[in-house]
Amino acid sequence: MGLHGLVQGPSLAVGIEPVTSSDRTVDRFSVAATLGLVLMVAATAGYIGWPRVANALGLKPEVPPPAYAAGQRVDVPAAWYDSSPKTLIIFGRASCVACQKAQPFLKGLVARLNGRAPAFLAHLPGADADDVAFANSLGITGDRIVVVGPDLRVRATPTIVLVNQNGTVIDAWEGAGPPERQSSIIKAIDGALR
């Protein structure tokens, strides 16, 4: 029978159809739709935050360690911590949405210290009057509201750092998080202040 039985028409094998310009249009549309979907997913991940998207997809994103870890020295002036066995430093600012959301928790945390340790609010230069009002709303006043330089190792606000009299970090937390995390922060601070 030879090759002649497998060929239909002048040059087409059985089951293979010629590509037409409408097929190319469909292919281009498919590529554009796929690219659009990929861009939409990327934009959504950026808008609602990659950790939420990863969690929804069942992925376990790696969380980087806090900028300050236990045993490291904090890079703030010694006058902040050398007069007390323990000092709580909150890095934040009024324009920080996460700080505003965490305001009730931070205020409760400062009140909970109840003289057991001084608390400072460290903020970057800029909106000083707003930051003073924010610190006051937390119960932090006067010379415990301090402007710091942008060269600190703080990656996110609020960042909460508990240090000893030598400026060594006892524990640190970036962000206040959900109520369960806030409870664990309170428990850790209460334990360190005993």
Mean pLDDT, the chain cut into blocks of 10 residues (194 residues total): 49 52 64 73 57 63 69 86 90 89 94 86 74 90 81 82 93 90 93 89
Given this model, what pLDDT does residue 7 score?
47
Instruction: Give the span between the Cα atoms of 140 and 108, in whole angstroms.
Output: 12
Instruction: Give the span between the Cα atoms of 167 and 87, in whole angstroms.
Output: 9
Cα distances from 87 to residues 6, 28, 145, in angstroms, run 86, 62, 13
* Entry pTM: 0.65
Given this model, what pLDDT does residue 99 score?
92
Handedness of CA 151, 117, 135, 159 (dihedral sign): positive
What is the per-residue DSSP string for 70-138? TTSBP-S-GGGTTTSSEEEEEE--TT-HHHHHHHHHHHHHHHHHTTSS-EEEEE-SS-HHHHHHHHHHH
Given this model, what pLDDT does residue 144 score?
86
Given this model, what pLDDT does residue 18 score?
54
| Nearest in space to 66 (alpha carbons), one of 190, 162, 194, 137 | 162
Residues 6+ apart with CB under 8 A from 116: 86, 193
Given this model, what pLDDT does residue 1 score?
47
